[in-house]
Amino acid sequence: MIDFDLLVLVCLAYVALLFVVAFAVERRAVRGEVRWLRSPLVYTLSLSIYCTAWTFYGAVGYAVRSGLEFVTIYLGPTLVMVGWWWVVRKLVRIGRSQHITSIADLVSSRYGKSNSLAALVTLLAVVGTTPYIALQLQSVAQSFSVFSGSETAVDRAGGAGAFNVTALFVAMGLAVFTVLFGTRRLDANERHHGVVTAVALEAVVKLVALLAVGVFVVWGLSGGPADVMARVQASDIGIWNLHGGRWMTLVFLSAAAFICLPRMFQVMVVENTTERHVAFASWAFPLYLLLMSLFVIPIAVMGQVILPGGNPDLYVLTVPLELGHGNLAMLAFLGGFSSATSMVIVAAIALSTMVSNHVVMPVWLSLRAGRATMSGDVRYVVLLSRRLTIGGILLLGFLYLHFSGGGEALAAIGLISFTGVAQIVPPLLGGIFWRGATRVGAAVGLSLGFAVWSYTMFIPSFGDSFVMTATVLKDGPFGISWLKPHALFGIDGLDPLVHAVFWSISLNAIVFLLGSILSAPEPLERLQAGLFVNVFEYSHNPAGWTSGTAEAEDLLAMSQRILGASEAQELFARIALGQGKAGGLPDTTPEFVETLERELAGSVGAATAHAMVGRIVAGSVASFEDLLAVADETAQIMEYSARMKAQSEELERTAGQLRDANQRLTELSLQKDAFLSQISHELRTPMASIRSSSEILMLEGISEEERKRFSGIIQDETVRLTRLLDDLLDLSVLENGQVSLNLQHADLHDVLQRAVVAANLDGGDGPFRISRDGGAEHVRLYTDSDRLVQVFINLISNFRKYCDSEMPLLEIDVSRDADSVTVDFVDNGSGIEPGSQSVIFEKFSRLTVMGGERGAGLGLAICREIMTRLGGSVSYIHGRGGAAFRVTLPYALE
């Protein structure tokens, strides 16, 4: 038997060694010599905090009770590490690119930095971990009590006080160590080099201790492997009582817990410095686990031979002690001590980070809202809250141990704790592999999983208590049998563990999926989803857009705010079409990103565009909301300036129109002046003739012949005046829209014929000839044919008046299209000079008359008014040799 005082001394010396190692490493880390400290071996060994005292001592007890089933606890993590390329590598990459500080932080970051979700995960972690810490304290206290002679913990009626005191001292010592090395300083990456190295050292100690005991048992107590195999065959656990449901559930559970336990996440992701270490650990850590479990069954079998009535949970310690191998027992004790302390230290650090970041700080900041905060202030509060949390967690663990009484009930807490943290699996895996996962889904699923776990596993684990009485356990609450904690929905006969894991995880996952499908993510959440799910695509290109990284959806969301919704969508659709993707968003190829950047640069400037696209493409996440705000502001400014620009353009247009109008007015005014002098002349000339003729008629003694002649002159001049006044009246009526049309069916040929006859050009008198195409002219029209004849007469008369050819020839061409008919009047004269072409349709505009009667300059103006009323037009056509007019009119006037 070893002296208890010596044991305490060795223990203190060991702790002192850990202090020295941790301190020396911290010193080196401060000096920047970190690289060699963080070897892949240290990383792998630090992962071994998975093997706590529960597994160090408990695996043997587990093997005694259930045979080979204990190995499932190691198979899950083995599969996770062998499958590192799937999950662990991704978690590590995300952890580094997003500066993740804990598993709660990861879940919260993924779902749009939701602090309520982080608080929920933190609560789950604290509830799940506290009993686990109690278990470690119990193990250490138990192992102490073995040496102090008060035998096992189950039989410690006399030594209860000493047991509690030991546990309290251990808790306090661990709190001091954790505070000293876990909260020395605030690191942006939350890395603790000293602690990790100390943990790695402890990993070596526990492996060596267990292997030493195993070798002693196999080669020292029995005759080698073959003998051990024979003994196993002959023992109580010789037949492998394989419970398929439990076997598979435990493999799943241990795999899930390996990823989700806060302390595992701390060493695996947060403390990780490079992915190469994960590659190394992918085989080295399974090897470590294999070695840890290699001798468990031999120790269990030999323990039962040597100490048939002893506590199998302490065989690792009691077997060497019983046989008088004090040093080996001491080593085994240190191994168990290492297992317990390393777990507690890392778990306390991980939990304190979560509690301070997601519970204390938000509360503190909201209490201080509105008051100025100095950076030193925050730092002090963070450190203080972490220190207090570490103390609080260890105190909670101790109190849990004290009040639950420890013992067998506590041994089951390992799996209960695993199941609790495994609830994080659906939102975690869903979050890193499925972009569609939303915060609502995660929160609802996690809450339900937490509730089901509490109801079916955690609360029943207290046994008959005030929270859940034995009656409720047996018959369900209020006698409702389908709510029995161990047989939900009437499904009976399942192993309680399988039952709890099945219901909590499956309900959690189903609700998570449904909630995600039914809810819409916020912009930040969508962005984070892309960054998490496609972490490998964007985190590997430090310069330039060398690979397709950004998500088109996020880029579209931003572009819409800058370019405007329809323009941005049009741009994206165009690029998508260019990529051969009709409909849908384009792939974010480098060309696309560059194109988009150029487009945005046109609106906000190149530097801003690059920064904005870069933020999304390269995944600098924190300020996405700020970016959206910036984009909104920019859009507002641009909208404002666009409005200003539109207004000034409008003004310019109006000014131009005014200038034109002014010029036309001036021209018209000149024309009118000219016309007034013209018309006064026109009126004066016949008036003068009429007056002089009438004066002559009034004279005495004029001959009958003369009287006839002068009356004829008066008659002619009066007719001319009347026609002039008729034209003016006609135009006035047309312009005022007072004309009433007499619509009827007519044939275009007949209309033209009437016009030609009326213009006195039928039958070829004089040199004037008209060329017509009789066949094409037969077009049925529904229009005012009298007015149309008027237009045609006018055009034909103009030909007669103005055509200056030796052999005047007028060609009348009729052509048709779908909804209108066109009649061209083209003569072979010299045409109208370009300067006059624009004014011939104006009122009172008259060209040089070649001879014959002079018009009043109203004919074409009247023609234009008539054609407008008839739904068509009349225009001058250029480049046809002589004067050419085109009349266009619809087949039928509405």
Partner 1 sequence: MSEGGRTSPSEYHAYRRRRTAYAARIAPAIGLFLFILPVLAAGGRDVLTTAGGAVYVFVIWGILIVVSAFLSRRLVGDGDGDDLTGNPRE
Q: Which residues bind partner 1 (CB under 8 A)?
A: 67-68, 71, 75, 78-86, 89, 93, 229, 232-233, 235, 237-242, 244, 247-248, 251, 273-276, 278-280, 282-284, 286-287, 290, 294, 297, 534, 536-537, 539-540, 547-548
Per-residue H/E/C for 538-606: HCCCCCCCCCCCCCHHHHHHHHHHHHCHHHHHHHHHHHHHHCCCCCCCCCCCHHHHHHHHHHHHHHHCH
Q: Between 125 and 218, whose beta carbon lies closer to partner 1?
A: 218
Q: Between 292 and 856, whose beta carbon lies closer to partner 1?
A: 292
- In angstroms, how far is the first alpha carbon of the chain from the final one? 121
Least separation, in Å, of the C-beta of 276 and partner 1? Answer: 6
Per-residue H/E/C for 608-672: HHHHHHHHHHHCCCCCHHHHHHHHHHHHHHHHHHHHHHHHHHHHHHHHHHHHHHHHHHHHHHHHH
Least separation, in Å, of the C-beta of 636 and partner 1? Answer: 38
Residues 479, 170: Cα–Cα separation, whole Å? 44
Least separation, in Å, of the C-beta of 548 and partner 1? Answer: 7
3-state secondary structure of 211: helix
Q: Considering only CA atoms, which of 688, 716, 694 is closest in space to residue 706?
A: 694
Tallying the residues shown for the chain, one arrives at 894
Q: What is the DSSP secondary structure assignment for residue 477, as one 8-state letter?
A: G
Q: Which is it for strands 744-747 and 780-783: parallel, antiparallel or unpaired?
A: antiparallel
Q: Between 294 and 733, whose beta carbon lies closer to partner 1?
A: 294
Q: Between 255 and 472, whose beta carbon lies closer to partner 1?
A: 255
Q: 562-570 — which CB contacts under 8 Å span 24+ positions?
A: 562/600, 562/603, 562/604, 562/612, 562/631, 562/634, 562/635, 562/638, 563/599, 563/600, 563/603, 564/635
Q: Between 194 and 548, whose beta carbon lies closer to partner 1?
A: 548
Residues 802, 794: Cα–Cα separation, whole Å? 12
Least separation, in Å, of the C-beta of 290 and partner 1? Answer: 5
3-state secondary structure of 87: coil
Q: Between 403 and 433, whose beta carbon lies closer to partner 1?
A: 433
> For residue 815, what is the enclosing H or E element?
strand 809-816
Q: 778: exposed, middle or buried (C-beta count within 10 Å: 0-12, 13-18, 19+)? A: exposed
Q: Between 92 and 826, whose beta carbon lies closer to partner 1?
A: 92
Least separation, in Å, of the C-beta of 536 and partner 1? Answer: 5
Q: Between 76 and 855, whose beta carbon lies closer to partner 1?
A: 76
For residue 290, give both structure tokens: 């294999």
Least separation, in Å, of the C-beta of 438 and partner 1? Answer: 23
Q: Between 275 and 706, whose beta carbon lies closer to partner 1?
A: 275
For residue 794, how many C-alpha atoms fall within 13 Å in the half-sphere facing its CB? 25
Looking at the DSSP assignment, which residues form a beta bridge with residue 746? 781
Least separation, in Å, of the C-beta of 233 and partner 1? Answer: 5
CB proximity list for 889: less than 8 A, separation 6 or greater: 781, 783, 788, 820, 821, 823, 867, 870, 871, 872, 873
Q: Between 284 and 346, whose beta carbon lies closer to partner 1?
A: 284
Least separation, in Å, of the C-beta of 575 and partner 1? Answer: 19
CB atoms within 10 A of CB 276: 11
For residue 696, give both structure tokens: 């002559």
Q: Between 10 and 294, whose beta carbon lies closer to partner 1?
A: 294
> For residue 339, what is the enclosing H or E element?
helix 326-355
3-state secondary structure of 874: strand
Residues 291, 289: Cα–Cα separation, whole Å? 5
Least separation, in Å, of the C-beta of 450 and partner 1? Answer: 27
Least separation, in Å, of the C-beta of 36 and partner 1? Answer: 15
Rounded to the nearest 5 degrees, what angle is found at the Cα of 670, between the Cα atoms of 666 and 671?
A: 115
Residue 36's identity, in one-letter code, is W
Least separation, in Å, of the C-beta of 238 and partner 1? Answer: 6
CB atoms within 10 A of CB 694: 13
Q: 678: exposed, middle or buried (C-beta count within 10 Å: 0-12, 13-18, 19+)? A: middle
Q: Between 229 and 381, whose beta carbon lies closer to partner 1?
A: 229
Residues 596, 344: Cα–Cα separation, whole Å? 52
Residues 806, 795: Cα–Cα separation, whole Å? 19
Least separation, in Å, of the C-beta of 599 and partner 1? Answer: 24
Least separation, in Å, of the C-beta of 79 and partner 1? Answer: 5
Least separation, in Å, of the C-beta of 280 and partner 1? Answer: 7
Q: Between 278 and 752, whose beta carbon lies closer to partner 1?
A: 278
819 near 891, Cβ under 8 Å?
Answer: yes
Least separation, in Å, of the C-beta of 391 and partner 1? Answer: 36
Least separation, in Å, of the C-beta of 504 and partner 1? Answer: 21
Least separation, in Å, of the C-beta of 105 and partner 1? Answer: 21
3-state secondary structure of 884: strand
Q: What is the distance, to the nearest Å, from the Cα of residue 253 to the centroid of all Cα atoms in its chain?
A: 32
Least separation, in Å, of the C-beta of 310 and partner 1? Answer: 21
For residue 70, give both structure tokens: 């204990």
Give backbone dihedrals phi and psi of 747, rounded to 5 degrees, phi first.
-105, 130
